[in-house]
Amino acid sequence: MRDQQVSHIVVFFACVAPAACSEPEGTDVPDYARSVAPLLEQHCVGCHSAGMVAPFALETYADARDFGPALVAAVQARTMPPWNPDNSGTCQSYSNARWMTDEEIATLAAWVDAGMPEGEPRGPLVAPAAEPLALTVELGMTEPYTPAGTPEHPMDDYRCFVVPGFAAPTFVTGYQLSPGQLAQVHHVIGYAVADPATEASLAERDAAAPGPGFPCFGGLADDVLGVFGWAPGSLGERYPAGVGVEVPAAGSLVLEVHYNLAAGTRPDLTRVAFEVAPQVEWPVLLFAYDDLALRLDPGLAAAKHEHSFRFTDFGLDEPMLAFGVAPHMHTRGRTQRLVAERPDGASTCLMDVPRWDFHWQDVGLYTEPVPLGPDDLLRTTCTYDTRGDQAPIAWGEDTDDEMCLSTLLVARANGRPWAELLE
């Protein structure tokens, strides 16, 4: 890909850790108490409960009965639970996927078809409690911000806040978010800023915008390092055992906050606490790449863009392990696929996104790390719906631009820190 311009922008998207819940044995007709409530509790009420970001609750039998047919339609279309990469096993599987199995979806459909019987009465549902984290560092917003929509995006506000960062090199193994307004905060992404020029550029954007922070719909195009990502359904996450995101001493941290305004526009003060370690078995870096030459023709139902790279293009000539992956496009995006093409002609699918949703962006953590060679060709293919456009669309971070960005959570196969290579 010598003829392409490649920018490796490091991005991280948050993750929520679900667990499977299956239909009880010995029943022909599922009822709410035995069959449906456990599924809703595991997959839904983390967001669909009072005071959270979802537009309605699913905490009681009455809630489930009222929304039963719509619930089945959403899970059958796999628009809910919200999760972009396919987790069927045909192209990787993810330990943190918000994903219902075919059997679970069939249970919900059978319950609706049977007239939504209640079974034994039971109390309101409660989402599973997250495993406690050993939190030692707290960072975040220092001044409240009241979100506001725009004529183009009346129900959404993307705002970036520059806050004090890590004082020393750190391995982040987990984090816990404290949103000031749970009903408004849709997702948060944290970036470390270690480059003085980038820090100065972000400070200028912050100073030029009225009020705290600055608008950043579409993400940051500056040279930043992804640290964490959070989406509704969990307030805290831990990376896989032995894995820590390697963060150099950073002058600043940037919090990219997406506000959904369906629940109002109240002042928010969001903060995040971190679990850190002095050393980890697998120091990971979020390595992202995109093609700055992206250009899409207008008027197409499936405009296609493809680009590829090898780690050797960036001077990395040793084996690596991928622990996770994250896609990124903007609002025209429809599908995205990442494949590793091996020098021997074999290939490994690393990510398949059959239905892209810009508003639900996460990193998928592989159930098993995937070996990558320095000469593997990593090919990303994206499709877009450009039927609403009259002119070609270029790469960029603005609302009306597009991206075809893939991010890998990568460790060196020898377990050595990345700082040895990045200094």
**CA–CA gap between residue 70 and residue 65 (Å, rounded):** 10
What lies within 8 Å, CB to CB, of 21 at 6+ separation is 38, 39, 41, 42, 43, 104
> pLDDT value at position 234?
63
Assign 303 a pLDDT band (cuts: 50, 70, 90).
Answer: very high
In the beta sheet, which residues pair with residue 282?
Answer: 243
**CA–CA gap between residue 340 and residue 220 (Å, rounded):** 26
pLDDT per position as a tens digit, 348-357: 999 999 999 8
- pLDDT of 336 above 80: yes
Q: Are 410 and 372 in contact (CB under 8 A)?
A: yes
pLDDT per position as a tens digit, 201-219: 999 999 999 999 999 887 7
- pLDDT of 22 above 50: no
Kindly report the CATH number that applies to the domain delimited by 6-15+132-422.
Answer: 2.60.120.230
Q: Look at 151 and 21; give whichever has higher pLDDT.
A: 151
Strand ranges inside 303-359, DSSP E: 303-309, 320-328, 333-341, 347-353
- pLDDT of 19 above 50: no
Assign 235 a pLDDT band (cuts: 50, 70, 90).
Answer: low
Assign 423 a pLDDT band (cuts: 50, 70, 90).
Answer: low
Cα atoms in the Cβ-side hemisphere of radius 13 Å centred on 103: 7
pTM, full prediction: 0.80
pLDDT per position as a tens digit, 52-104: 878 899 999 999 999 999 999 999 999 999 899 999 999 999 998 999 999 99
Residues of the chain with CATH 2.60.120.230: 6-15+132-422
Q: Is 247 helix (H, G, I), strand (E, B) or coil?
A: strand
Listed residue (243, 404, 225) closest to 321, CA to CA? 243
Mean pLDDT for the stretch of residues 142-151: 92
Listed residue (56, 38, 20) closest to 122, CA to CA? 38
> pLDDT value at position 250?
75
- pLDDT of 2 above 80: no
pLDDT per position as a tens digit, 360-417: 877 889 999 999 999 999 999 999 999 999 999 999 876 678 999 998 999 999 999 9
- pLDDT of 8 above 50: no
Enumerate helices (H) and strands (E) in the chain, giving the number of each: 5, 21
Identity of the highest mean pLDDT range in 25-39, 247-261, 383-397? 383-397
**Of the listed ranges 84-93, 244-253, 281-290, 292-301, the one predicted with least confidence:** 244-253
